[in-house]
Amino acid sequence: MISLNSKIYLAGHNGLVGSAILRKLKEKGYKKILTLNRKKLDLKNQTKVLSFLKKNKPDFIIIAAAKVGGIYSNNKFKAEFIYENLTIQNNLIHSAYLSGVKNLIFLGSSCVYPRNCKQPIKEEYLLSGLLEPTNDAYAIAKIAGIKMCQSYNEQYKTNYICLMPTNTFGPNDNYHPLNSHFLPSLIRKIDLIKRKKNKYLNLWGNGKAKRELIYVDDLADACLYFMKKKTKHHLINIGTGKDYSINYFAKKILNILIPDRKIIIKYDKSKPNGTPRKVLNIALAKKYGWKAKSNFKNSIIETYNSFKNK
């Protein structure tokens, strides 16, 4: 049973999700949190990962470490995305087993589901169709992680839970012009408009693609919630169960951050839309007693303030 004195190793504590999990662990009073940056522990080196876990013997591992990016980088650097993600998760999951760690959370992504999936997406739809081609390398790596956890659970009786979050945003996000996801990219562009007093917001695609968003603090809360659960299911969707168009989000966030100005949205239809629609069925998470609680407007304001202070 996980307690406040349990030793928890958090891999990827400097990223968007990892930093939120670390904040939440500290806030809840967990006293033995293990974190190492990539200079001190290269997660692509299996020998070092295994040595670290055998020496420290954590009671629980949370894998928030991954190579992530938006449409551009996922499509352009597929080799790096599939290699790095496979290597990191293989090393951590297998070394966890070899070190006797029975409890683990592996964080994936909703992009593991087929591009033209029936909506809302149930966990059982995994591997039922073709993936979105712009991020298939990343998705295949994550799918391999899911199947690896499932296989170890079945063969070695481990409790390795795979949480599949929808599009996540919040403080400490990546705002790179080419490598970011749509929400941080949107915030960066709106900030530029706000500072330079431009009147146009230029976005990729036609704005009709629909997305579901979850605030990173809700995802961190889900990790801590399921960390203390023994579940019958190895794969659980984490989201809000509601999706809206890119156009809707653009107008909504403009109204929150620049309420007193008229901004014209222009779409570059030569650029890809990505997956046409992606909303998760979260009935299973609700069945276990978890649901998202954050207010969207407050979450956007907190995210924007964090962006300004970067």
Catalytic residues: 138
Instruction: Report DSSP state, residue 158.
Output: -
Q: Where are the alpha helices (DSSP H) in 157-289?
A: 182-196, 216-227, 246-257, 283-287
Of residues 12, 19, 9, 13, the one with CA closest to residue 171: 19
Q: Where are the alpha helices (DSSP H) in the chain?
A: 16-28, 46-56, 71-76, 78-98, 136-156, 182-196, 216-227, 246-257, 283-287, 296-308
Instruction: Please tell me the distance from the alpha carbon of residue 85 to that of residue 150, in angstroms, as a whole number.
Output: 17
Instruction: Please tell me the distance from the alpha carbon of residue 220 to that of residue 236, in angstroms, as a whole number.
Output: 14
Q: At what angle do helices 46-56 and 78-98 cross, to 10 degrees?
A: 30
- Listing DSSP states for 252-292 in one string gives HHHHHH-TTS--EEEEETTS---SSEE-B--HHHHHTT---
Q: At what angle do helices 182-196 and 296-308 cross, to 10 degrees?
A: 70
**What type of residue is 181?**
H
The secondary structure element, H or E, covering residue 164 is strand 159-165
Instruction: Give 162: exposed, middle or buried? Use CB within 10 Å, 0-12, 13-18, 19+.
Output: buried
